[in-house]
Copies of this chain bind each other. A is one copy, B any other.
Amino acid sequence: MHAFDVLRDPVRRRILELLAEGEHASGEVASVIRREFGVTQAAVSQHLKVLRESGFATVRADGARRIYAVDADPLQDVDAWLERFRRFWEPKLDALETEIARGRRKRP
């Protein structure tokens, strides 16, 4: 699933926002999303699966709980795609300065 397919869904974007604040258990995410979007735990679990399988999130077990954390790699890909459009709103920077400002680096 392409990064933009993943990001298209507002629930998934909200989940990523939550994870950007720090790790959260599946149930914690589910309760926030349930309150804000009125969807079930099953739906949230399915979204978390999409985020996992597309590389946007990682999980670890903590007893019966599943702790999710954001993995920013695919978001960095999106950021890279936007690069070609930045000249439309950013002031000019020389190449090195831009390089430093963006913190670009090779991906493994």
Q: What is A's interface to B at a CB cutoff of 8 Å? A: 2, 4-5, 7-8, 10, 13, 16-17, 20, 70, 72, 75-76, 78-79, 81-82, 84-86, 88-91, 93, 97-98, 100-103, 105
Besides A70-B85, A101-B101, 7 new A-B residue pairs in contact (Cβ under 8 A), listed by A number = A2-B8, A4-B8, A75-B88, A76-B88, A76-B89, A79-B86, A89-B105
**Beta-carbon contact of B101 and A17 below 8 Å:** no
Q: A5-B8, A75-B82 are known contacts. Are A70 and B88 too (CB-CB below 8 A)?
A: yes
Q: How far is the CB of A52 from chain B (nearest CB, A)?
A: 17
Residues from chain B with a CB closer than 8 A to the CB of A76 are 88-89
Q: Are A93 and B85 touching (Cβ within 8 A)?
A: no
Task: Compute how far the CA of A101 lies from the CA of B75 in the bound complex, rounded to whole angstroms.
Answer: 19
CB pairs A–B below 8 angstroms (18 shown)? A2-B8, A4-B4, A4-B7, A5-B8, A7-B8, A8-B8, A13-B81, A16-B85, A20-B88, A70-B85, A70-B88, A76-B89, A79-B86, A79-B89, A89-B105, A91-B103, A93-B101, A100-B101
